[in-house]
Amino acid sequence: LHPQGFFCFALAFCGLIPAACWRYTHSTEVEDSMMDVYDFVYEEVRRNTSSFRRHELTAIHKAFLCCGKHSPFGDTTNVENKTCPLGQVHDEGQDCLQEIRVFLKKHMDFVFSLLGIAIGFTVYGMILTSFLWFSIHFSSNLYRKGKYILR
């Protein structure tokens, strides 16, 4: 029973370490991918008035509480007037690309912290299960044989 417990902790450890390494080495990949999706949807809405893409862009603006982006390629107020939630003005500086970056960085840091805590618990579990196994395994030699007489 105890070797299976150690094996489960070791298996969890072997899954958590690559996840933590990937998060450390590819720290901006998720953020960049999400911003690429936002750019793609935004430019699709700017080029044509597809109602499907407009609904997607409106949902993104509502989810991240932002409105539009600063674009060097031209006026974007037409897109923002159609897709931003009521009461949100682009001039307030709520650039969606920045809001998405801040949101994802905060949440990815939280995930990285959870990974660290989980790795700590798995190492602690492996140490405890191995200690328990060794103490049970070698405890047969610790039994005292004979009788004690108290005086």
pLDDT along the chain (151 residues), means of 10: 82 92 85 89 80 85 82 62 65 73 88 93 91 76 62 71
Both structure tokens of 89: 């003005």
DSSP 100-135: HHHHHHHHHHHHHHHHHHHHHHHHHHHHHHHHHHHH
Residue 81, in any domain of the structure = no
Contact predicate 13/123, CB 8 Å:
yes
Indicate the pTM of the whole model: 0.65
What are the DSSP E strand ranges found in 7-123?
A: none
Residue 89, in any domain of the structure = no
Residue 26, in any domain of the structure = yes
Domain total for the chain?
1
The domain in which residue 142 lies consists of 7-67+94-150
Residue type, 120: G
Residue 105, in any domain of the structure = yes
Residue 72, in any domain of the structure = no
